[in-house]
Structures are given as C-alpha cells and as structure tokens.
Amino acid sequence: MFYIGREASKLWKRFCAEVTTEINLLAENWKYLLAGLVCQYIHGLAAHGVHYLHKPGPTLQDLGFFLLPELGRDKAYLSETLFTIIFVSFFLWTFHPFILKNKKIYTVLIWCRVLSFLAASQALRIVTFYSTQLPGPNYHCREGSELATLPPPKSVIEVLLINFPHGVLYGCGDLIFSSHMIFTLVFVLTYQKYGTQRCIKQLGWLLAVIQSLLIIASRKHYTVDVVVAWYTVNLVVFFVEKKLPEIPDRNSAATALLLPMSVKDKDGWTKEENHKLMNGNSVDPAEWRQRTQSNGKISEKGSAYHADSAMNGA
C-alpha cells in the first residue's frame, strides 16, 4: 500500500507539472488551435453545401468496384469502425505525456501541426469537389433515395448548423478526395515522425491501406478519391512541414523538469532556467546531455544512437 501510494503521488505530481507546461503553451498558441478548428467547421459547411448541388445518377465505372466485392449496407459500418479506432488511438497518444514518463512531444504543439495539415488538405478538397460534382456511389446517394438530394434551405441557420450529425453521416457530392483518408494519413504521418514504437508505425500504415480498401468496398468513395488522397496528403504534409517551426526537443533536462522533484531541487531553479527548460533548451550544456534525435525525428526504440555523435552532427 505504501508503494502504491508513493507511485500515485508521483503520477499526480507528473500530471500537474505537465498540465502547467501545456497551459503555458496553450496561452501562446491558442490562436492557431482556434483557427484550425474554424477551418474544420468551414470544411463541414462546404461539404454540406455541395449536397444541395448533388444530382444522383448512374454509378460511374470504377476499377476498385470491379476488383473489390461490395460489402453491402449491413457491413458498411466496418470502414467507420476502423476510422474511429484510428482517430481515438491517435487522440489518446497525443495526451500520453500527461501520464507516461517517456515524454517526447508537446500535446498543444502536435495538435497545432495536425490542424495545419488538415486545413491545407481540406482547402484543396473543397476546391476539387466544388469544381466537378460526381454522382455519389454511396447507397443513400443513388437514384431513388430520398437522401440523394436536399430541398432548398428555408433559412441561413439551416445551412450553418450543417444538420449535425445527420448531415455529416449522409452527405453526398463531396467526393474528390476522401476526407477519411485525409485524417488517417495525417495521423499516420505524424506518428511516423514523432512516435517511438516501430511496430505501431508499421501497423499504422497497414491500417491506412485497409481503411482505403474498406472505403472502396463499402462504396463510400470512388477509387480515384482514395488514390488522390494518398499522394495529395503526403505532398501537403511534406511542403507545409517545411514552413512550420520544429517542435522543441524534449531532452533530459526538460524531462527532469516535468518529473517530480524535491522541494530543495525546485528552489534551486531560477525563473529564467525554468523558462529555458520549458522551451526544450539545456541550462548547462556541460551538465545536461542532449536527447538523441536525428533531423527533428524521434529515435525509435530498439535503434541505437550515441548522443555525443548526434551533438557533433555525425
């Protein structure tokens, strides 16, 4: 009981220290997070708006439809289930520094990057599906379905509210390119750079491929919607990332700051030193050894690097 109580106390102190750090980062970056969330709403509004323009028609000839058997209405939930698993898993991973010792990322800064990738990709998506409206292959978008077309809106409020969540689940016309693949690929690419478990990185790419096949098999998108998403999102992340500042390196000094310390140790830190540590900088290069890192990427577990070599650029 004594051991459990002591570990619980350490966990609580670690959690409180991490909350303090993230609140400070949130105070500096809340505008970027808010802008990213606003872009999400604009994307939803645009997807809902194109539904008013959708004209149901015969399903277009598609190679993926020819190769993959149709799942049917009763199994169409499989793609949504997998997407939910990917989304929730990534969301929980971004908050793992609050409870785990191996702190490698800052939650606020990670979400700033993720939202910027999503906003850029979705802006391109809005341009493409408004340029040409294709007949939706989904069951509720086909000829004869009452949901395939929307009556003219009675008020502006009806459009602005997006008929959530019904309007999101049963939308038509927003095809090229797949929004589900935008989220999936952005999450996988982000973990590829900042994650530490190699097996999870490989699993992430496998799930992205399975997600692509399920989307086509459930007839939610044409094959072109998925193919375009694969190369567009990768290119967007590649170019946008070059414009964003790199996330500060959480070296051993910064990690030590967030771990529970004695009152004597806390009193020894000055305000200026605390500020430096929160930004990922060492107070004394001779005393603290920089955490291993290569080109801004978190080194994977199981890979051996030497900190001295990394610091010398080797």
Whole-number CA gyration radius for the chain: 23
Closest residue by Cα to residue 58 from 140, 146, 142: 142
- Token pair listed for 176: 């090229």
Tokens 């939202």, located at residue: 115
CB 62 within 8 A of CB 137: yes
- Selected catalytic residue, list 48, 54, 180, 249: 180
Closest residue by Cα to residue 113 from 298, 248, 246, 24: 246
CB 189 within 8 A of CB 118: no
Phi, psi (5° rounding) for residue 133? -95, 120
- Selected catalytic residue, list 221, 267, 284, 306: 221
Nearest 5°: the CA angle 131, 135, 137 is 125
Catalytic residue check, 43? no
Catalytic residue check, 180? yes
Q: Is 297 helix (H, G, I), strand (E, B) or coil?
A: strand
Tokens 């990690």, located at residue: 255
Closest residue by Cα to residue 32 from 110, 120, 95, 115: 115
Catalytic residue check, 96? no
- Selected catalytic residue, list 51, 225, 284, 308: 225
Angle between helices 198-217 and 77-94 (to 10 degrees): 150
Q: Which residues are catalytic?
A: 180, 221, 225
